[in-house]
Amino acid sequence: MKTFMLVIFVLIAFSCSEKVDDVSFSNLSDHNMKINPENPTSADEIKLVVFDDCTYNVLSEVTRAGKTIDILKKFNSMMKWPCVMKNDTILIGKLPEGTYTVRYKLLDTSTQVTDPTALYFSFSLPVSK
């Protein structure tokens, strides 16, 4: 059973190691995510929904500087925790009208990895009035 769990963990780790420079707004589904509401306005509380995320991927911070929003999640692969899937909703909040760049990064905090970035991509988030 331990060997089976190790194989599953290694497969998940390798599948999460894809680095993508830019993703269009409509391709969020390729990353098992979506923006809610689908066509946000400046009056909406905007959220990023991550489907089937491992519970050990912990939200570290959501920051905004001008038209750039950074979302950072972290995990530690040394802990060998089982991946219990859940949907995670990340609050981005209300934004003024405009087009924003959202940068999503998942970091491995293990001291045993050479590149801590497990997943990184960015996408455009248009907000209408």
Question: How do residues 74-120 score in pLDDT, each as one tens digit?
Answer: 999 999 989 999 999 999 999 999 999 999 999 999 999 999 999 99
Q: Are the beta carbons of 47 and 68 closer than 8 angstroms?
A: no
pLDDT of residue 122: 93
Band of pLDDT at residue 10, cut at 50, 70 and 90? very low
